[in-house]
Amino acid sequence: MTKNIPQEHFLKDYQSPQYEIKSVYLTFYLSPNKTQVINHMVVEAKGGKAPLLLDGDKSLTLVSIKENNQLLLKEDYELNSESLTLFPKSNQFELEIVTEVDPESNTYLEGLYRTNGNYCTQCEAEGFRRITYYMDRPDVLSSFTTKIVADKAESKVLLSNGNLIESGDLPNNQHYAVWEDPYKKPCYLFALVAGNLEVVEDTFVTQENREVALKIYVEARNLDKCEHAMQSLKKSMQWDEERFGLAYDLDVYMIVAVDDFNMGAMENKGLNVFNSKYVLAKPESATDHDFEGIESVIGHEYFHNWTGNRITCRDWFQLTLKEGLTVFRDQEFTADMLSPDVKRIEDVKRLRNNQFPEDAGPMAHPIQPQSYIEMNNFYTMTVYEKGAEVVRLYHTLLGEKGFQQGMKRYIECFDGQAVTIQDFRQAMAEANDVNLNQMHHWYIQPGTPHLKVTKTYNPITKCLALKFSQFLNGKQVHLPLLIPVLFGFMDEEGTALPIKPSISTKNKVTQTEKGMLLKVTQLNDTFEFMGLETEPYLSLLRHFSAPVSLDYKATEEELMVLASHDSDSFVRWESIQKLAMLNLKENVIRFENSEPFLILDSYLNAFKAVLEDNEIDLALKSLAMALPDVIYFSEQYEEVNMDAILASHNFLKKAIAEFFEESLLETYQALEASEKPKYRYHKEDIANRMLKNRCLNYLLQLPKHFDIGVAQYQNHHNMTDVLAALEAMNHLARVERAQCLEDFYQRWQSDNLVIDKWFALQASAQSDQALEDVKKLTKHPDFTYHTPNRLRSLLGVFGRLNFAGFHDKTGEGYQFLAEEVLKVDKLNPQVAARLASLFSQWQRLAEPRKTLMYKAIEHIASAEDLSKDVFEIVSKTLKSHDSFE
């Protein structure tokens, strides 16, 4: 393990800053290996005299310091690899700090770095300290002015935050630009981009009748891939005005797309820097999923203008304040643009596949973490996706009108401030005159809540009692959560039954715009309902009204009725998924007992009903026909028998193909014949492709239909269908598969984003040769350790989705990825930490994999000079060793 144990930071230790930085004027003299940064600050002490601690980094070269224009000597300050401490002579003063940085060598992609000849910054969470010495914390808000000086030939475009106020030429073929941001902001929202980029331009007229210039900057070769991003931006601006009453506040809104970026995108005020994956798209090279991802992320970063920028976080422990809220907003935006029902199910799948395992692993943390070693490690599914679900609880409890009243109050009270989650809750409560204090329990307790429901029906009194019990991390000893449960009752024919709460229950059940809602507020809560002539089937957690794991023992007959008749799309989908899960679990038992597999009649009948239902939305039909993902399937077990899980999953998928071969083929051919010649990103077209490609995936479980996949690959000109064909044939070691992959590479080798898909396809192939194939791909000329997208597409996909290769019984998959983590850690600790987290579920694996994965983690931990990012991941993962011993 690394010799120097990094410092852990705790929320309880928070102290407000002792100094205020009134204004900042930054001057950059750009040069690939020696950029000079002049940081001129006006500083004011908030109280008496105290040392001024400025954050820094070992990558900085300090050139000079001046206080009130007086040059400071080395004995006047204290300097180490992480900070600069000054001892000001007065309470108000001007400070000028000159530093030098090396953008070209900055492989961490934090601070100022250079990629493909262009300069770029990434300052969230703590990257600004790699540019200059500063109070690098979100509660220090200041006015920023930025002057950029660069060579014209090297950087024709000079961009920063705010509005352009001055530009011009300089001697020696240089030029400059000055940008002024009229809104105070923390330094994590600072941005600078310079290089030889081209621009796509448009305008948007706000509700206040102000014209805003919209600009997307890309490399020249990508100019034809920006139309969807521009339209997504305009839709976002209009939607935020119509739904939330929020208008944009600057003269220009700029987006820059770069290939080398650790995150998806960054909401820097007025100058958003994006991973090119979330900007560039055209039908030939991007899938429906890509188009949706772009629309969502464009919206997310734009919505941050108010929920993140104008109102920001007091400290990084409040990260979900801006991210959970803004993810909720972008989810609602995408739902309104496409299909609310489909979007809700997709969000739940994402939560269960990604966040539930995080909650169950060694890196489990509340949506408001109470401590951290490296802040980058807390940009997690828990903070973002579970955080969004908690914001959705407010919306479910208060309704659309009440939620909007709360948002209006939140913005009126806290605009221009750095605030906390308590401030958000207070605004919601005061605007609706309700007590929401119990909501805080969601923020401070880790783990996925387990909600157990027990039903008791009395045929004599016609009374139904529902007992709800809360568990967290397997225990009932925790702070009780406020859990809203949308619900309904049905009879055995699928007819909705009346809901008549008893007198004792009446105050805990309300009619809302989303349906009947009950509120579980205690560890054990009982609700009674009267006047039920027959024992009802329960439709629970409609719309997935709370991020919980529901434990209700519905019969197969009950699930069949819900899957066929429930008015709530989520419950219909969930019910057929539960039937599939019953079948999968049964076959795990049979595998372990060396008994033949089977397919349950209940699941066959439910699948048949969905497949033959001509009224259901085609996208919902596709989702209902899919088996539960292997990741979610494995999460159902305290000890994971990977062989049994894969065998059960593979059997059921092939069995479905055999049972419904004729219907699947008929549906596929009908949808193929009806497909429009020109690609449209439209919900009906997307739904058609979803269902068609679901059928194709099943059909290619049967080798005799392999030619259909090859034909679809060869004949289609939209990437959605091309990639679906490759994915459908990916599990078979056929010469045609290899030929299609080679053809795909030859066609697209000049497009980085498409080649990421090529790497990912091979990394996810479930074959005996999977590990060897991935090892070979790390030697491929197009593989690079310097591009996060490429690392994620090969190493990340292999560790997360290649269950056969990564979890090979020999442990070689674990050993391979451990070595790769150490390589990446030297270049980019953020990406290395994400890869290291793929080992976090080791303690749930059955032997011999449990011991083999643990040894791989130990190997990472034993390395010298691990980054803080990787150290935190592996140290917390190893702490779970107690359960192993």
Give me the amino acid identity at 102: D
Burial of 287 (0-12, 13-18, 19+ CB in 10 A): buried
User: Is residue 376 in some structural domain?
Assistant: yes
Residues 422 and 524 in one domain: no
Rounded CA-CA distance 260/790 in Å is: 9
What local confidence, expressed as pLDDT, does residue 882 receive?
46
Residues 122 and 105 in one domain: yes
Residues 180 and 54 in one domain: yes
Q: In what order do the strands lie in the sheet with 52-55?
A: 52-55, 83-86, 77-79
Rounded CA-CA distance 813/833 in Å is: 17
Give me the mean pLDDT over the 833-840 stretch.
Answer: 98
Burial of 773 (0-12, 13-18, 19+ CB in 10 A): middle
Residue 883 scores a pLDDT above 50: no
User: Is residue 257 in some structural domain?
Assistant: no
Q: Is residue 600 left, alpha or beta, with left meaning phi > 0 and alpha meaning psi from -120 to 50? A: beta
Please report the DSSP string for 205-251 in residue order: E-TTS-EEEEEEEE-GGGGGG-HHHHHHHHHHHHHHHHHH-----SS
pTM assigned to the model:
0.98
Residues 867 and 780 in one domain: yes
Residue 881 scores a pLDDT above 90: no
Closest of 178, 137, 141 to residue 160, by C-alpha? 178
Radius of gyration of the chain (CA): 28
In the set 126, 292, 301, 635, the catalytic residue is: 301
Strand partners, 538: 489
Give me the mean pLDDT over the 851-880 stretch.
Answer: 95
Boundary of a domain, candidates 131, 161, 196:
196
Strand partners, 113: 120
Helix axes 706-715, 683-699, angle to 10 degrees: 140
Please state whether beta strands 198-205 and 371-372 pair in parallel, antiparallel, or not at all (unpaired): unpaired
User: Is residue 835 in some structural domain?
Assistant: yes
CATH number, domain with residue 492:
2.60.40.1840
Residues 390 and 519 in one domain: no
CA 24 to chain centre: 33
CA 335 to chain centre: 16
Residues 440 and 455 in one domain: no
Residues 418 and 333 in one domain: yes
Residue 780 scores a pLDDT above 80: yes
Give the CA angle between residues 363, 360, 423 to the nearest 5°: 65
User: Is residue 111 in some structural domain?
Assistant: yes
Boundary of a domain, candidates 529, 546, 563:
546
Helix residue spans in 532-568 (DSSP H): 556-565
Residue 524 scores a pLDDT above 60: yes
Closest of 390, 241, 379, 441 to residue 837, by C-alpha? 379
Per-residue pLDDT of 141-197, as tens digits, reads 999 999 999 999 999 999 999 999 999 999 999 999 999 999 999 999 999 999 999
Residues 486 and 417 in one domain: no
Rounded CA-CA distance 165/178 in Å is: 6
- Please report where in the chains the tokens 């894969």 appear, as a residue: 646
Check: CB of residue 840 under 8 Å from CB of residue 879. no
629: its two tokens: 């993902």
Boundary of a domain, candidates 546, 581, 608:
546
User: Is residue 85 in some structural domain?
Assistant: yes
CATH number, domain with residue 23:
2.60.40.1730
Strand partners, 489: 497, 538
Rounded CA-CA distance 342/690 in Å is: 11
- With a CB cutoff of 8 Å and minimum separation 6, the contacts of 770 are 798, 802, 804, 805, 808
Report the SS3 class of residue 547: coil
Rounded-to-10 torsion of CA 432, 434, 435, 440: -40
Residues 766 and 872 in one domain: yes
- 693-697, 730-734, 852-856: the lowest-pLDDT one: 730-734
Give the sign of the dihedral formed by CA 598, CA 601, CA 603, CA 604. Answer: positive
Domain containing 827: what range?
Answer: 749-885
Give the CA angle between residues 834, 440, 550 to the nearest 5°: 70
Check: CB of residue 71 under 8 Å from CB of residue 139. no
Other residues' Cβ atoms within 10 Å of the Cβ of residue 507: 9
Closest of 771, 810, 814 to residue 794, by C-alpha? 771
Total domains in the chain come to 4
Rounded CA-CA distance 34/62 in Å is: 12
Per-residue pLDDT band at 717 (split at 50, 70, 90): confident
Residues 432 and 517 in one domain: no
Please report the DSSP string for 478-495 in residue order: SPPP-EEEEEEEE-TTS-
Closest of 713, 689, 692, 808 to residue 761, by C-alpha? 713
Give the CA angle between residues 124, 61, 97 to the nearest 5°: 75
Per-residue pLDDT of 727-749, as tens digits, reads 999 988 899 999 999 999 999 99
The DSSP call for residue 258 is E
Residues 35 and 173 in one domain: yes
Per-residue pLDDT of 565-604, as tens digits, reads 999 999 999 999 999 999 999 999 999 999 999 999 999 9
Report the SS3 class of residue 511: strand
Rounded CA-CA distance 673/669 in Å is: 6
- Please report where in the chains the tokens 């973002």 appear, as a residue: 384
User: Is residue 725 in some structural domain?
Assistant: no
Check: CB of residue 256 under 8 Å from CB of residue 238. no
User: Is residue 831 in some structural domain?
Assistant: yes
What local confidence, expressed as pLDDT, does residue 362 receive?
94
CA 203 to chain centre: 29
Rounded CA-CA distance 185/528 in Å is: 52
547: its two tokens: 């991020």
- Please report where in the chains the tokens 């605007």 appear, as a residue: 431
What local confidence, expressed as pLDDT, does residue 884 receive?
35
Per-residue pLDDT of 346-357, as tens digits, reads 999 999 999 999
Strand partners, 296: none
Per-residue pLDDT band at 880 (split at 50, 70, 90): low
Burial of 879 (0-12, 13-18, 19+ CB in 10 A): exposed
Q: What CA–CA distances, in Å, run from 114 to 101, 103, 259? A: 11, 5, 11
Give me the mean pLDDT over the 62-66 stretch.
Answer: 98
Residues 377 and 504 in one domain: no
- 267 included as an active-site residue: no
User: Is residue 173 in some structural domain?
Assistant: yes
Rounded CA-CA distance 647/650 in Å is: 5
Closest of 134, 186, 126 to residue 312, by C-alpha? 186
Q: Which helix (H) or strand (E) holds 116?
A: none
Q: Which helix (H) or strand (E) holds 151?
A: strand 143-151
Average pLDDT, the chain: 97
CATH number, domain with residue 346:
1.10.390.10
